[in-house]
Amino acid sequence: MIRPILLYGSPILRKEAQLVDVNDPTLPQLIQDLWDTMYNAEGVGLAAPQIGVSLQVFVVDAAPLQPPDEPPFKGIFINPQIIGSSPTCVPHEEGCLSIPGLREKIYRPDSIEVFYYDENGQPVQARFAGIVARIIQHEYDHLLGRLFIDYLSPIKKQLIRARLREIQQGLIEVQYPTL
Ligand code: ZN
């Protein structure tokens, strides 16, 4: 089911999400809703708090942004923890379905090690690099109540203030249901 995406200004986006019981019978539906909502909005990742559910789960389908020589990555991350990251940070332009119309260059570690549970409740530990690592870090931040704009310099934050206010007031035209 496609659900409305919470926009910047919504308090849930700033809350730390709660751990998920991997045996929770409502979990498969939540995951399906995340996929439906993400694909409808043409996103490459979506975290549960973005559809108003303050639980530690997000989905990623990086295929549209991956280089053609990379195997397409699609995954479900439940109760994830980033347990390691490369010392090298690289810049990349990021956007967010909760902050429509805004894209900014953000520096993040180039590769990360993640521990999480998959949709079958199985623990997984894996290393990710490049654009996949980028998307995972962005979505992981949502579970901690962080947004990519938090990484901007004070000057840059000042420059986007008016735009953020417009988003908050619902003045930005968006091609998917929002709340
Ligand atoms: Zn986002």
- How far, in Å, from the CA of 7 to the mean position of ligand 1? 10
Percent of the chain with pLDDT over 70: 100
- How far, in Å, from the CA of 75 to the mean position of ligand 1? 16
∠ Cα 27 168 97 (to 5°): 45
Choosing from 16, 139, 166, 173, the catalytic residue is 139
Q: Give pLDDT, residue 50.
A: 98
Is residue 172 over pLDDT 90? no
Residue 173 neighbours by CB under 8 Å, 6+ apart: none
- How far, in Å, from the CA of 156 to the mean position of ligand 1? 18
- How far, in Å, from the CA of 155 to the mean position of ligand 1? 21
Indicate the pLDDT class of residue 93, thresholds 50, 70 and 90: very high
Q: What is the mean pLDDT of residues 8-21?
A: 97
What topology is assigned to 11-168 in CATH?
Answer: Peptide Deformylase (3.90.45)
Q: Where are the alpha helices (DSSP H) in 27-101?
A: 27-40
pTM for the model: 0.95
Indicate the pLDDT class of residue 170, thresholds 50, 70 and 90: confident
Assess whether 139 carries a catalytic annotation. Answer: yes
Q: What is the mean pLDDT of residues 57-83?
A: 96
Q: Give pLDDT, residue 59.
A: 98
